[in-house]
């Protein structure tokens, strides 16, 4: 039982990463009927921007420019990086997706993949191949809850991601922009004709998604402090799968599917040798998609590729 | 004034070369590479190059920019000039010959053309081992790209499982050859004498291809019910499953990979398989059965109403494409004589997709151009190291923006037109 | 035994009753019409017969053999050709390829022929091409054979669909609003083509149409469908004078 609970906590932590990233995929899809295949790499860029911001803040504090407690640095890092990374997302949209609005969807998928490669390589060229360590902003504290060990980092990760998902949910429910996003998810052909500015909406969703990915990146950096340029690939693809499982344009769906993804992975690793993790996790996903082809929540994704 | 006369001169040159039959170009190329073989090195020294430029001077130009003029001169003297002169001079007799060959027997005409092409490649690759390797890999890339085009271009699904099929083929063929003909640590001593090996090799490749085709069922069967994004994910999951299955199979070496494949994938073998693949795939996509793929892509409901068995069509497309990807994988494993599962991951997927979409969907020409273009570009830009992976993606993004379906999309590959004498166009003009 | 017989066909979409107790009997050479207001379920009936939907209840027989439960392509291959209300063409294919494609089920060279380009394949493809060109000639669009369909004018696209449906040698041709969106000139041509098809190819035609002129001139037997139920059927004359039909089309006051 204790083992189960211990793994449950790990699964929640990984699920948080997947959920935050999956939200970005899902939102962009609901506006453009396209997946942003560079999203995993935006997660990586977000982590690096977070690294840059936090290092700068730590250095400034050390020089005595101002005195900030570590937790405030972390909060500022998250907010700043989300802000900065959202521009990265918007640039990606402007360069790679807007010119291809009317092109076959597969072509846009290719540009997305290529932008991803450029982001990875660009990072490698700029910062070199050595891995970078995220500054340790909070000291790990471990709580023993009857044999189950919980660290403050894990609690923070889960709480922050759930908070962000909730904030997004409120944004989509309550604001005018959110309403436009919902309308677009419902019918992306007619709604732009009703005066909803497609370009702004696309930029908005890319920006929001990228901000969430940046938050995921920093939280990832807090939990696993070593960053490398290829860190976004695998986690991005898994979150992408989660987004599909969640169903089109569903915040709840993407969040839950993200956590589901975490559960599948962690519990497979718990029962089977860890080398079998990907094999079994993907087999389960394959089975889910074969027998429940339209995900769990929300509208089904497009069944047809425009060519 | 000067500009217009320049333009006219250019146009006239273009027109006079438009009458050169394929035979003429091939002959020119053969003479050019023969010249390089005989006098390449002395010419290279004469123009101040340390050695024969292996890839048309690209590598050299990027490593030592000062040598660009010399490399350019070399390329002009060795390739452009002989090819141009011979193609032009021999145009009219060769046109007659091409016409005669064409009217007597298509098969003989094709064999002669292919023979010339092979001779050219053979001599060109004879200069260095590096050229040979690049050439073999490029030919395999053509096969792989074309097979992916069957699903992604002709049938319009976004399949991501090709590295998986390739891995199945690579491992299937490698296991056959290594178990039967090689003494190695994993499988023990050889079961059959190595002398009969090369004859058995095609069988091993086909076995690998069939293994991939069976694996393709995992994607083909869900494709009956789902299309588009979901199928893309299913195929992606399939790729990850194959990769991680091989990683977990200690019997075939697990993550360390499988090595010591016999050296049977020589240039003629790879060339023949690639030609056979292009021929069969082109035959297929031009038949009405093959066109059913296009019908399923453009409107499945209409296809159904017009008696097209859509399930059979999808089934054939996936298994057929997977078979050729498997063959390509088997050849790949025997060219490198080493495979490991991490070769067949996301990176490979991005590479193959890039080749297909760069060259053009629904087009055999496109696949050839895409595969050759990206693999030669990849080699030529090697001196740029990491920046290579910024330039190639940028190029591909530009292609996608300006030609979203690729450079040469939706063009039929018509062998008859290719081999015909070009004389008749003279009468037309 | 009639060519096509439908007995008590009923269909529900979820809880919604789309078609109720539909019956039909058709003979070779006959032209039947199905009219009714928008949303009456006319296209649904076509989709039920051609197997795109499975009827909740009822039986469909073609020359005495049951069609229920067959896949759409199998039903089509038995001899049910159709066109679509909103033109379902293959946008990247040429006109000739469209027509050739409808011979799919009749191809006998198989995969081997497709892969290796056997002599049998070349013979068969040549025969299919000749037949296709013949049909295109009949439709008067032979000159467009090598063009991609999306570039063609609407009237020509309609004819491509018609040629395509005819290429499968149908026993019955289902035309879903064959003249929709056509100008008077194209309309006259299309009616001429329909007559020609009936006279020369010896098949039954079943058409959905909104233009009364077309229906009254072409059809021998007409059914009127309202809310999924046939409220009247008979000869054009009977239909024109049936008060129920007038009510359905013009409202109650018109009858009184």
pLDDT at residue A302 greater than cutoff 50: no
pLDDT of residue A303: 41
Residues of B whose CB is below 8 A from A302: 228-229
Where do we find the tokens 């449906």?
Answer: C165
Last residue within a domain, chosen from B105, B140, B163:
B105
Q: Indicate the residue of B283, B302, B305 with minimum beta-carbon distance to C114.
A: B283
Residues of B with CB under 8 A from a CB of A: 152, 156-158, 218, 221-222, 225-230, 233-234, 236-238, 240-241, 243-245, 247-248, 297-298, 346, 350, 353-354, 357, 361, 386-387, 389-390, 393-394, 396-397, 400-401, 404-405
- Percentages helix, strand, coil for chain B (3-state, rounded to 5) are 80, 0, 20
CB B282 within 8 A of CB C114: no
Specify if B422 maps to a domain.
no
Specify if B429 maps to a domain.
no
Residue contact A104–B389, C-beta within 8 A: no
- Please indicate, yes or no, whether residues B156 and B296 belong to a single structural domain of this protein: yes
- Please indicate, yes or no, whether residues B156 and B77 belong to a single structural domain of this protein: no
Containing domain of residue B177, as a range? 129-417
Q: Indicate the residue of C76, C77, C107 with minimum beta-carbon distance to B288.
A: C107
- Please indicate, yes or no, whether residues B304 and B172 belong to a single structural domain of this protein: yes
Alpha-carbon distance values, A188 to A185, A196, B317 (Å): 6, 10, 32
Give the mean pLDDT of A96-115: 87
Question: Does domain A2-304 sit in CATH 1.10.3470?
Answer: yes
pLDDT per residue of chain B (429 residues) written in tens, 0 to 9: 455 566 777 787 777 788 888 888 999 999 999 999 888 888 888 888 888 888 887 787 778 888 888 888 888 888 899 898 888 888 888 888 888 888 888 888 899 999 999 999 999 998 889 999 999 999 999 999 999 999 999 999 999 999 999 999 999 999 999 988 888 777 777 788 878 888 899 999 999 999 999 999 999 998 888 777 778 888 988 999 999 999 999 888 888 999 888 989 999 999 999 999 999 999 999 999 999 999 999 999 999 999 999 999 999 999 999 999 999 999 999 999 999 999 998 889 989 999 999 999 999 999 999 999 999 998 888 888 788 888 889 999 999 999 988 899 888 888 888 887 776 544 333
- Please indicate, yes or no, whether residues B147 and B187 belong to a single structural domain of this protein: yes
pLDDT of residue B346: 84
pLDDT of residue A34: 82
pLDDT of residue C253: 60
Q: Which string of b and e fits B103-137 if b means at least 16 CB within 10 Å?
A: eeeeeebbebbeebbbbbbbbbbebeeebbebbbb
Helix axes of A251-271 and A2-32: crossing angle, nearest 10 degrees: 140
Residue of B nearest to C80 (CA): B305
What pTM did the predictor assign? Answer: 0.90
Q: Indicate the residue of B283, B292, B299 with minimum beta-carbon distance to C104.
A: B292
Give the mean pLDDT of A75-101: 93
Mean pLDDT in chain A? Answer: 86
Q: How many residues does chain C have?
A: 256
pLDDT tens for residues A159-205?
Answer: 999 999 999 989 988 999 888 888 887 777 778 888 888 888 889 99
Residue contact A289–B401, C-beta within 8 A: no
Per-residue pLDDT band at A93 (split at 50, 70, 90): very high
Residue contact B307–C105, C-beta within 8 A: yes
- Please indicate, yes or no, whether residues B395 and B289 belong to a single structural domain of this protein: yes
Residue contact C93–B410, C-beta within 8 A: no
Alpha-carbon dihedral A39, A41, A46, A47, rounded to 10 degrees: 130
CB A20 within 8 A of CB A217: no
Write out the two tokens for B416.
């008859």
Give the mean pLDDT of A289-304: 60
CB C61 within 8 A of CB C45: no
pLDDT of residue A42: 96
Q: Which residues have C-beta within 8 Å of that of residue B266, sequence separation ≥ 6?
A: none
Residue contact B295–C93, C-beta within 8 A: yes
- Please indicate, yes or no, whether residues B159 and B51 belong to a single structural domain of this protein: no
Phi-psi label, residue B8: left if phi above 0, alpha if psi -120 to 50, beta otherwise: alpha
What whole-number percentage of chain C has pLDDT above 70? 97
Residue contact A120–B397, C-beta within 8 A: no
pLDDT at residue A300 greater than cutoff 60: no
Query: E strands of A73-147, at which residues?
Result: 132-133, 142-145
- Please indicate, yes or no, whether residues B193 and B336 belong to a single structural domain of this protein: yes
- Please indicate, yes or no, whether residues B247 and B326 belong to a single structural domain of this protein: yes
Instruction: Specify the CATH number for the domain of residue B177.
Output: 1.10.3470
Q: Which residues have C-beta within 8 Å of that of residue C145, sequence separation ≥ 6?
A: C94, C95, C96, C132, C133, C136
Residues of B whose CB is below 8 A from A305: 156-158, 227-228
pLDDT of residue A69: 84
Distance CA(C109)–CA(C122), nearest Å, equals 9
pLDDT of residue C243: 87
Residues of B whose CB is below 8 A from C50: 305
- Ranges of chain C whose pLDDT falls below 70: 250-256
Counted domains in chain B: 2
Distance CA(B295)–CA(C89), nearest Å, equals 9
pLDDT at residue A301 greater than cutoff 70: no
Specify if B159 maps to a domain.
yes
**What are the beta bridge partners of residue C229?**
C226
Residue B338 CB coordination number (10 Å) = 15
- Please indicate, yes or no, whether residues B349 and B238 belong to a single structural domain of this protein: yes
pLDDT of residue A35: 85
Q: Indicate the residue of A96, A100, A113 with minimum beta-carbon distance to B350.
A: A113
Cβ contacts below 8 Å, chain A against chain B, sum to 139
- Please indicate, yes or no, whether residues B368 and B267 belong to a single structural domain of this protein: yes
- Please indicate, yes or no, whether residues B221 and B267 belong to a single structural domain of this protein: yes
Distance CA(C194)–CA(A180), nearest Å, equals 48
Q: Indicate the residue of B299, B301, B311 with minimum beta-carbon distance to C52.
A: B301
Residue C39 CB coordination number (10 Å) = 12
What whole-number percentage of chain A has pLDDT above 70? 94
- Please indicate, yes or no, whether residues B45 and B168 belong to a single structural domain of this protein: no
């Amino acid at each position: 039982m204790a083992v189960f609970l211990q793994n449950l906590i790990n699964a929640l932590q990984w699920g948080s990463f997947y959920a935050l990233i999956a939200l970005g995929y899902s939102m962009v899809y609901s506006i453009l009927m396209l997946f942003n295949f560079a999203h995993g790499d935006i997660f990586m860029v977000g982590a690096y921007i977070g690294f840059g911001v936090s290092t700068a803040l730590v250095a400034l504090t050390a020089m005595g420019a101002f005195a900030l407690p570590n937790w405030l640095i972390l909060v500022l890092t998250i907010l700043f990086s989300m802000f900065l990374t959202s521009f990265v997302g918007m640039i990606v949209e402007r360069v790679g997706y807007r010119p291809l609005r009317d092109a076959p969807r597969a072509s846009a998928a290719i540009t997305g993949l290529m932008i991803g490669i450029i982001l990875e390589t660009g990072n490698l060229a700029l910062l070199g191949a050595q891995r970078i360590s995220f500054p340790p902003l909070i000291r790990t504290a471990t709580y023993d809850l009857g044999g189950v060990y919980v660290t403050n980092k894990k609690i923070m990760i889960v709480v922050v991601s759930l908070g962000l998902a909730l904030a997004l949910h409120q944004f989509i429910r309550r604001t005018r922009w959110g309403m436009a996003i919902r309308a677009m998810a419902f019918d992306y052909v007619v709604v732009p004709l009703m005066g909803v500015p497609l370009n702004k909406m696309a930029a908005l969703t890319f920006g929001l998604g990228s901000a969430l990915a940046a938050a995921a990146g920093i939280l990832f950096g807090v939990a696993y402090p070593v960053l490398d340029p290829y860190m976004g690939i695998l986690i991005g693809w898994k979150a992408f799968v989660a987004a599909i499982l969640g169903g089109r344009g569903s915040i709840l769906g993407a969040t839950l599917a993200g956590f589901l993804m975490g559960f599948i992975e962690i519990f497979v690793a718990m029962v089977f040798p860890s080398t079998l993790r990907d094999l079994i996790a993907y087999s389960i996903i394959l089975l889910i998609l074969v027998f429940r082809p339209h995900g769990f929540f929300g509208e089904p994704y497009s069944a047809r590729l425009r060519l | 004034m000067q500009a217009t006369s320049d333009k006219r001169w250019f146009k006239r040159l273009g027109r006079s070369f438009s009458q050169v039959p394929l035979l003429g170009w091939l002959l020119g190329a053969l003479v050019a590479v023969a010249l390089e073989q005989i006098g390449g090195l002395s010419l290279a020294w004469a123009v101040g190059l340390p050695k024969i430029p292996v890839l048309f001077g690209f590598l050299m130009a990027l490593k030592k920019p000062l040598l660009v003029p010399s490399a350019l001169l070399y390329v002009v003297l060795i390739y452009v000039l002989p090819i141009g002169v011979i193609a032009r001079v021999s145009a009219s007799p060769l046109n007659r010959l091409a016409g005669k060959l064409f009217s007597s027997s298509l098969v003989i005409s094709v064999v002669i053309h292919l023979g010339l092409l092979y001779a050219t490649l053979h001599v060109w690759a004879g200069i260095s081992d590096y050229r040979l390797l690049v050439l073999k890999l490029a030919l395999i890339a053509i096969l792989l790209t074309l097979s992916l085009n069957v699903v992604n271009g002709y049938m319009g699904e976004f399949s991501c499982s090709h590295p998986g099929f390739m891995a199945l083929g690579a491992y299937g063929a490698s296991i056959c050859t290594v178990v039967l003909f090689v003494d190695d640590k994993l499988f023990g001593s050889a079961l059959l004498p190595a002398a009969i090996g090369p004859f058995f090799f095609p069988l091993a490749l086909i076995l690998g291809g069939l293994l991939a085709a069976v694996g393709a069922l995992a994607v083909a069967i869900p494709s009956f019910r789902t299309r588009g994004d979901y199928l893309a994910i299913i195929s992606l999951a399939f790729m990850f499953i194959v990769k991680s299955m091989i990683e977990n199979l200690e019997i075939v070496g697990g993550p360390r990979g499988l090595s010591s494949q016999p050296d049977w994938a020589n240039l003629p073998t790879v060339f023949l398989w690639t030609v056979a693949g292009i021929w069969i795939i082109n035959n297929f996509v031009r038949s009405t059965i093959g066109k059913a793929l296009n019908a399923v892509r453009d409107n499945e409901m209409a296809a159904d109403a017009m008696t097209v068995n859509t399930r059979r069509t999808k089934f054939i497309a996936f298994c057929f494409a997977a078979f050729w990807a498997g063959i390509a994988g088997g050849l790949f494993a025997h060219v490198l004589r080493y495979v490991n599962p991490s070769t067949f991951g996301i990176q490979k997927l991005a590479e193959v997709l890039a080749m297909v979409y760069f060259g053009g969907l629904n087009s055999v020409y496109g696949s050839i151009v895409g595969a050759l273009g990206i693999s030669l570009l990849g080699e030529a830009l090697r001196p740029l190291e990491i920046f290579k992976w910024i330039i190639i993606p940028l190029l591909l993004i530009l292609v996608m923006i300006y030609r979203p379906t690729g450079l040469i999309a939706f063009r039929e590959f018509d062998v008859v037109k290719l081999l015909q004498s070009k004389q008749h166009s003279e009468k037309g003009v | 035994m009639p060519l096509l017989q439908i007995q008590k066909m009923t269909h529900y979409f979820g809880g919604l009753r789309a078609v109720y107790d539909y019956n039909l009997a058709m003979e070779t050479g006959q032209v039947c019409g199905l009219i009714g207001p928008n949303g009456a379920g006319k296209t649904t009936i076509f989709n039920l017969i051609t197997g795109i939907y499975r009827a909740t209840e009822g039986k469909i027989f073609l020359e005495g053999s049951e069609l229920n439960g067959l896949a759409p392509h199998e039903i089509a291959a038995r001899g049910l050709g159709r066109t679509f209300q909103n033109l379902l063409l293959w946008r990247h294919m040429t006109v000739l390829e469209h027509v050739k494609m409808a011979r799919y089920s009749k191809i006998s060279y198989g995969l081997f022929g497709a892969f290796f380009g056997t002599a049998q394949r070349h013979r068969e493809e040549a025969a299919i091409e000749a037949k296709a060109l013949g049909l295109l000639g009949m439709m008067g669009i032979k000159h467009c054979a090598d063009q991609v369909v999306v570039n063609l004018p609407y009237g020509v696209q309609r004819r491509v669909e018609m040629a395509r449906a005819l290429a499968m040698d149908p026993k019955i041709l289902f035309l879903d609003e064959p003249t929709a969106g056509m100008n008077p000139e194209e309309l006259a041509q299309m009616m001429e083509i329909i007559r020609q098809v009936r006279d020369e190819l010896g098949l039954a035609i079943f058409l959905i149409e909104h233009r009364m002129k077309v229906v009254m001139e072409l059809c021998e037997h007409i059914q009127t469908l309202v809310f999924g139920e046939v409220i009247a059927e008979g000869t054009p004359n009977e239909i024109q004078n049936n008060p129920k039909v007038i009510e359905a089309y013009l409202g109650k006051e018109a009858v009184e």
